[in-house]
Structure 1
């Protein structure tokens, strides 16, 4: 008589969704691998299928990443915005996607008011409100539209001095204003006398001094410094201590030999030495320079800009040109200064998310575990975040290795289709500005973009794909 074959228990079971099934299987002594999976974002299934079938997508994305990684960002100069960007009196740049005065947030209004007084358009910053409401003598334009980036409010006016980053292979350039430090500063919407006094000193002393030193030093390799920062505990968004020190190492001999008075040089050393975020304003245009190289590649689903103006959060995608996809800026979750709390904070603001777009900042939190003491969370959270970001990116940047992840390169190239397929949103480390104009910084924390902007970008990509297939 034939005996029945013994039952074969599975070696392991993969469980997706509700935990009840996984627990029941485990109770029968069967190993279970829980898979963190959920359906694609609502309404994206058809567009995901269309974009996935696009014959251009794979090569386009690989080209976008390659172009980005081929860029070597060199600090080559410091000069006024009027000279570099052609800004004239009454013209102001700001962070994030386009916005009109009526919709501006408190910190952006405060920064514009302070900048108007700094430029001599008004005596009292409070008088600038009527100037911007009339709109006849002033214009507003995103920094990104002029090849620039600005942290927080990101306001740039003609007299402000800016860092110049250049890719020697192509000659392309990007720009960013000088960093003012923390607390009550223009970029956080403050416009008190001390803020304006500091801006005038930066215009009259610090800017010319740095310009002389950078010229004497010759091009400074910002891309290489970014790589070294990740080895030294920075993530290049909310922690820039190592980057600032390395920049000063390169500039110090030339500052010391400057033609400027010794007291001015000492004051500059003291200012930069007391401002751990000084290098952020070099890191940002370095990231933009790399990402701009990946723009305008038909079929590419790679995000080339994430930016916020305090009201809207916008992204731009390689395969859709200069089009912005926007949604409401979100409130960050984090730690507050002094007696400030969530009710005091403005929604997320600034162009500094260009760092996360390039694969550092919140994407590289594993490289900077100390950052959790500034933005909240735990060290395991930081490690998990850097691993999770790899699920929504196209490749990795071997020039920016993360030691604790066995020197894996930073996750690179946010993929719109991967975000929509997984529901995982990019993680951003950010500062928090007070929602009332004039307050300044109130805290720092973690934030993600509004989810709806990624399906909107995916739909535009799918429409282009269908149009090409029908042509």
Structure 2
């Protein structure tokens, strides 16, 4: 309250909206303070991690590596060149066929049919259940995959190199929206499209990039943010910029297929999502393996589990149950048709894009629901759990402030705020495809488990 009685009472209200409203209704001056309690059960772990003398310098080093990465698209290659023999990659933390969700099972069945490793759907499911193909997370092989994230040998992948720190990351080519493999569909139209991508699109893009040389993805992403993209669920500007960059070389490198290739890319506003994911992956990988760092370097979902990894804890996964997104649905689909959250595309949020950059993309609310003010509020809140503002990725509507980047698990625990994630929604039944898009809440358990493990390491 005020130190001067004649000035009348002034009350500081902390996290109590109803009390603040009641006092204001009585003409009492209030000073509302935004505050949330720490995540339950984290006090001891927080104290140990915060007392680690390595933490501040470790986080400064890790986040500086992340923000200084310079991802360039350097090529397109067949996945067989990077995959261990007899292995399919998938999104998210490790998972078995028995625990796999409908869309992941559908994508794996489709990959079996694409590779002619099974005669039909039942044969594919039987062989996958028997372990005839090894299933490994994309992240363990310097790769990321949207939604189900399945990568099999005859698919093609973007190759992105960090020109600052030397790392390399890969991501599959984007099929488009609707009934596509990454959403768990595997009908004849899905396989036909994938075969065309194998025979035509992949070789054409490979030849194109051999002509153009490396494409500066950091620069394209920075431009796209200022043109209304957030680089997760809105990539229209970025896809247009990439198309303008590559189109002349496509015509020169593959004159017979140029029209079909350019038509395919032009009709797919999400085409840039996949190189953006590889750019995000190579950037966050630059921040890995800094002892004592509490920086989050990966968030990923497999349709059953949501997992995170920390810079200071190597490749260990910390998981919780994946939630069902809340958003807008296509046609007659509704929440009952939705699978829990799935995909490696949360690597965009991990690198300061996607949900963290929604303030740059007012139009995104038409895709994931909500109001423009919600998008701005979401971005502003993420500054509370991050260590830096990205020097290149800036938001015009916030006075060209850098996007919030560098999620610190200790800040998540201290504020109770969880990362904002926007996402597509896959149908829970294998073969359905996309049913909507929206926002999803990560599980608290993944972050508290990671914090506890970091505390154990700090005490050693």
Equivalent of residue 87 in structure 1, options 84, 97, 115? 84
Equivalent of residue 61 in structure 1, options 25, 37, 59? 59
Answering whether residue 245 of structure 2 is matched by residue 247 of structure 1, we say no
Q: Which runs of 5+ in 1 are unaligned?
A: none
Q: Distance in 1 between matches of 2:8 and 2:75?
A: 64
Aligned to 2:458: 465
Answering whether residue 204 of structure 2 is matched by residue 206 of structure 1, we say no
- 1:11 deviates by 8.2
Contact 1:81/1:87 (CA < 8 Å) preserved in 2? no
SS of residue matched to 2:174: coil
Alignment RMSD: 1.4
Aligned to 1:37: 35
Contact 2:93/2:301 (CA < 8 Å) preserved in 1? yes
Answering whether residue 420 of structure 2 is matched by residue 427 of structure 1, we say yes
- 1:170 deviates by 3.4
Alignment of 1:159-174 (within 5 A): 159-174=154-169
Aligned to 2:363: 370
Q: Distance in 1 between matches of 2:219 and 2:57?
A: 27
Worse-matched range after superposition: 24-33 or 238-247 = 24-33
Contact 1:179/1:277 (CA < 8 Å) preserved in 2? yes
Q: Distance in 2 between matches of 1:48 and 1:451?
A: 15
Q: Distance in 2 between matches of 1:268 and 1:109?
A: 29
- 1:87 deviates by 3.3
Answering whether residue 378 of structure 2 is matched by residue 380 of structure 1, we say no
- 1:86 deviates by 3.5
Q: Which has the larger radius of gyration?
A: 1
- 1:24 deviates by 5.4
- 1:26 deviates by 3.2
- 1:38 deviates by 2.1
- 1:133 deviates by 1.1
Q: 1:205 to 1:103 in 2, by over 3 A?
A: same
Q: Distance in 1 between matches of 2:172 and 2:295?
A: 27
Contact 2:326/2:440 (CA < 8 Å) preserved in 1? yes
TM-score, structure 1 as length reference: 0.95
SS of residue matched to 1:294: coil
Q: 1:78 to 1:6 in 2, by over 3 A?
A: closer
- How many residue pairs get matched? 458
Q: Distance in 1 between matches of 2:282 and 2:324?
A: 28
Q: Distance in 1 between matches of 2:26 and 2:423?
A: 46
Alignment of 1:16-35 (within 5 A): 16-19=14-17, 21-23=19-21, 25-26=23-24, 29-35=27-33
Q: 1:49 to 1:214 in 2, by over 3 A?
A: same
TM-score, structure 2 as length reference: 0.97
Aligned to 2:302: 309
Alignment of 1:178-327 (within 5 A): 178-258=173-253, 260-262=254-256, 264-327=257-320
Contact 1:14/1:35 (CA < 8 Å) preserved in 2? yes
Worse-matched range after superposition: 272-281 or 6-15 = 6-15
Q: 1:126 to 1:31 in 2, by over 3 A?
A: same
Aligned to 1:129: 125
Contact 1:345/1:442 (CA < 8 Å) preserved in 2? yes
Aligned to 1:78: 76
Aligned to 1:412: 405
Aligned to 2:139: 144
Q: Distance in 1 between matches of 2:8 and 2:171?
A: 58
Q: Which runs of 5+ in 2 are unaligned?
A: none
Q: 1:9 to 1:52 in 2, by over 3 A?
A: farther
| Cα displacement string for residues 111-134 of structure 1 (whole angstroms, at most 9, x for unaligned residues) | 000000101101223320000111
Q: 1:387 to 1:454 in 2, by over 3 A?
A: same
| Cα displacement string for residues 25-56 of structure 1 (whole angstroms, at most 9, x for unaligned residues) | 43564432212212111111111111112111
Q: Distance in 2 between matches of 1:19 and 1:111?
A: 46
Aligned to 2:354: 361
- 1:10 deviates by 6.6
Contact 1:125/1:191 (CA < 8 Å) preserved in 2? no
Q: Distance in 1 between matches of 2:176 and 2:446?
A: 32
Aligned to 2:148: 153
- 1:298 deviates by 1.1
Contact 2:106/2:186 (CA < 8 Å) preserved in 1? yes
Q: Distance in 2 between matches of 1:297 and 1:152?
A: 29
Q: Distance in 2 between matches of 1:6 and 1:154?
A: 63
SS of residue matched to 2:403: strand
